């Protein structure tokens, strides 16, 4: 999805525009209008702080992590012209409450759907590569957040900050988020992953972590659309029957479902057919289970390499937490609904930056968007939003092209093929102090 047509569609007879109009060229006003109508917050009243401005304040909470919401609104100059240029802090609080979180959620989903449907992504054996994984965010420690989200606990009670658990669906060749679902700490990732089913596109392969092994979930995922496949590491205690041998390390197997799973997932059959593939890397043996049972369309050599791309979603989470949030561990909002709004704003800000990075490489087939530095690209996008001259609307496409040209300079070096230091099991701490050895006196 290119932003340039949005610039070119702007009326050329305008002699002056404000910053809010410039921001509208980045985020399609039609998407905002649909989101406001869906959430039931649309209004014809002309406010000093319109909903569009409040939306950008929420997005700015992630783009300007170290600044207050009041400073963000005033720096972006996103209020309507009036006698007083500054926006009162109370007006922003009321504006965020008026906006709610459903409008931000709908904006994120509409933008993600439009971006995925209008861009050409890399394919593997004719399939889009996706990944699903979970991540947690800390919230402000107060009674409302503890009651709403919960936290880790032991025999002494709750022992950590309230946490909100999120599960996301990501396109791995661009790190574009297609959808996310989050809920209280007590809600498992399996449940959250099941909520992502309506967003699974046709002709796709989704890579799961080992912990997502649930025949009910995998069956629903495979039957969600046309050619919606899945893959995950096989458990060590996997029970199966060999249906046919494709090669020594490649089998078509039958998996038996439990009565409990059949009661939980309607339409789950008693047996499922899957493919069990075994391979070695660096002398270590791996097994992956998948729904790719056609050996002609999905050759063995291809299957042994594709699962390594699941780690791209971990890098995407790092970009959000360390890049956008600058390693700030706690979300700034204090009310549960505002926590949800802030988190949807984080996902929306992340996707906006990712879309610009995709746009920068739309005509370059030798470099993928994930080869660009996210942190450097983020800084340039923020600088574009803040400092691009707005006195001449006809020059905005040229400024945007300059932004894309600058982003192409941020190509990362090639990843190291092997770890310099292998992974090791961390020593479990002991509650007893270490006793020093005393020298033996003669």
Q: pLDDT digit string (tens) for 281-340?
A: 878 899 999 999 999 999 999 888 899 899 999 999 999 999 998 888 899 999 999 999
Strand pairing category for 284-290 and 271-281: antiparallel
Share the mean pLDDT of the chain: 85
pLDDT surpassing 90 at residue 129? yes
State the DSSP string of 248-272: TTEEEEEEEPPHHHHHHSTT--SEE
CA dihedral for 300, 301, 302, 305, sign (positive or negative): positive
Interior/surface letters 192-225, b for 16+ CB within 10 angstroms, e for the rest = bbbebbebbbeebbbbbbeebbbbbbbbbbbebe
Convert the pLDDT of each residue in 156-184 to its tens digit.
Answer: 767 788 999 999 999 999 999 999 999 99
Q: How far from chain centre, in Å, is Cα 191?
A: 17
CA–CA distances in Å: residue 273 to residues 286, 290, 291 = 20, 9, 8
Distance CA 129, CA 225 (A): 15
Burial class of residue 61, CB neighbours in 10 A (0-12, 13-18, 19+): buried
> Pairing mode, if any, of strands 250-256 and 241-247?
antiparallel
Rounded CA-CA distance 100/330 in Å is: 20
Q: Strands, DSSP E only, in 139-175? A: 153-154, 157-158, 163-171
Residue scoring higher pLDDT (217 or 48):
217
pLDDT of residue 71: 77
Q: Which helix or strand (DSSP H or E) is residue 49 part of?
A: none
pLDDT of residue 167: 97
Residue corresponding to tokens 């936290």: 151
Q: What is the pLDDT of residue 155?
A: 67
Return the pLDDT at 12. Answer: 34
400, 4 Cβ separation under 8 angstroms? yes
Between 377 and 435, residue with greater pLDDT: 377
Residue among 130, 232, 228 at smallest CA distance from 178: 130
Residue with tokens 């609080």: 93
Alpha helices in 361-420 (DSSP H): 374-387, 396-407
Q: Which residues contact 210 (CB under 8 A, 6 or more apart)?
A: 232, 233, 235
Question: pLDDT of 30-77, one tens digit each?
Answer: 888 899 998 888 876 666 678 888 888 899 888 888 888 777 776 666
Distance CA 85, CA 79 (A): 8
Q: Which tens digit of pLDDT belongs to each residue from 251-298?
A: 999 999 999 999 999 999 999 999 999 998 878 899 999 999 999 999
**pLDDT exceeds cutoff 80 at 346:** yes
Higher local confidence (pLDDT), 132 or 24: 132
- Tell me whether residue 283 is exposed, middle or buried, using C-beta atoms within 10 angstroms of its C-beta: 0 to 12, 13 to 18, 19 or more: exposed
The pLDDT, as a whole number, for residue 6 is 43
% of the chain surpassing 70 pLDDT: 83
The pLDDT, as a whole number, for residue 13 is 29
If one counts every other C-beta atom within 10 angstroms of the C-beta of residue 358, the result is: 25
pLDDT top residue among 228 and 431: 228
Distance CA 102, CA 97 (A): 11
CB 212 within 8 A of CB 265: no
- CA–CA dist 354, 369 (Å, integer): 8
Regarding predicted confidence, which is higher, 8 or 46?
46
Helices and strands, number each (H, E), in the chain: 16, 12
Residue 170 CA to residue 112 CA, distance in Å, equals: 10
* pLDDT the model gives residue 417: 61
Average pLDDT over residues 398-415: 87
Is the pLDDT at 7 greater than 50? The verdict is no
What residues contact residue 35 under an 8 Å CB cut-off, 6+ apart? 103, 104, 106, 107, 110
Tell me which of 307 and 398 has the higher pLDDT.
Answer: 307
- What is the distance between the alpha carbons of residues 37 and 324, in angstroms, rounded to a whole number? 29
**Of 391 and 296, the one with more pLDDT:** 296
| pTM > 0.75: yes or no | yes
Question: Which region among 9-18, 171-180, 194-203, 416-425 has the lowest average model confidence (pLDDT)?
Answer: 9-18
Tokens of 360: 């920068």
Backbone phi, then psi, for 440, in 5-degree steps?
-85, 120
Confidence (pLDDT) at 399: 79
pLDDT exceeds cutoff 60 at 403: yes
Region 352-374 average pLDDT: 90
DSSP 411: B
Provide the pLDDT confidence category of residue 92 given band limits of 50, 70 and 90: confident
Least confident of 10-24, 149-163, 237-251: 10-24
| DSSP-assigned beta bridge partners for residue 250 | 247, 277
């Amino acid at each position: 999805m290119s932003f340039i047509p949005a610039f070119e569609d702007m009326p050329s007879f305008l002699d002056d525009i404000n910053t809010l109009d410039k921001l509208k060229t980045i985020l399609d006003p039609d998407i905002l209008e649909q989101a406001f109508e869906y959430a039931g917050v649309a209004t014809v009243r002309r406010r000093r702080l319109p909903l569009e401005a409040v939306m950008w304040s929420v997005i700015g909470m992630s783009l300007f992590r170290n600044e207050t919401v009041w400073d963000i609104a005033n720096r972006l100059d996103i209020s309507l012209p009036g006698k007083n240029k500054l926006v009162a802090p109370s007006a922003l609080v009321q504006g965020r409450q008026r906006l709610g979180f459903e409008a931000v959620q709908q904006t994120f989903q509409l933008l993600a759907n439009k971006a995925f449907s209008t861009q050409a992504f890399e394919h593997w054996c004719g399939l889009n590569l996706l990944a699903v994984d979970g991540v947690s965010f800390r919230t402000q420690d107060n009674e409302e957040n503890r009651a709403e989200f919960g936290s880790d606990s032991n025999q002494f009670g709750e022992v950590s900050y309230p946490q909100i658990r999120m599960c996301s669906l990501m396109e791995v060749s661009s790190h574009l988020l297609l959808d996310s679902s989050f809920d209280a700490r007590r809600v498992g990732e399996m449940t959250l992953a099941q909520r992502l089913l309506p967003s699974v596109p046709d002709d796709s392969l989704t890579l799961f972590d080992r912990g997502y092994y649930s025949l009910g979930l995998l069956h629903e995922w495979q039957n969600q659309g046309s050619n919606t496949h899945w893959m995950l590491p096989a458990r060590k205690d996997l029970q199966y029957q060999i249906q046919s041998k494709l090669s020594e390390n490649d089998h078509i197997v039958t998996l038996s479902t439990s009565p409990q799973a059949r009661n939980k997932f309607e339409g789950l059959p008693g047996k499922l057919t899957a493919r069990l593939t075994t391979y070695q890397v660096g002398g270590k043996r791996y097994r992956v289970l998948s729904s790719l049972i056609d050996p002609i369309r999905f050759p063995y050599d291809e299957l042994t390499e594709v699962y390594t791309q699941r780690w791209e979603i971990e890098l995407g989470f790092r970009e959000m937490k360390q890049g956008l949030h600058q390693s700030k561990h706690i979300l700034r909002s204090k009310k549960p609904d505002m926590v949800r709004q802030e988190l949807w704003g984080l996902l929306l800000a992340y996707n906006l930056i990712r879309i610009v990075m995709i746009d920068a490489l739309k005509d370059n087939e030798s470099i993928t968007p994930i080869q660009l530095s996210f942190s450097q690209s983020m800084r340039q996008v923020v600088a574009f939003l803040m400092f691009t001259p707005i006195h001449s609307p006809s020059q905005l496409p040229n400024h945007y092209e300059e932004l894309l040209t600058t982003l192409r300079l941020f190509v990362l070096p090639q990843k190291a093929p092997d770890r310099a230091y292998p992974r090791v099991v961390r020593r479990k701490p002991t509650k007893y102090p270490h006793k020093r050895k005393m020298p033996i006196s003669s």
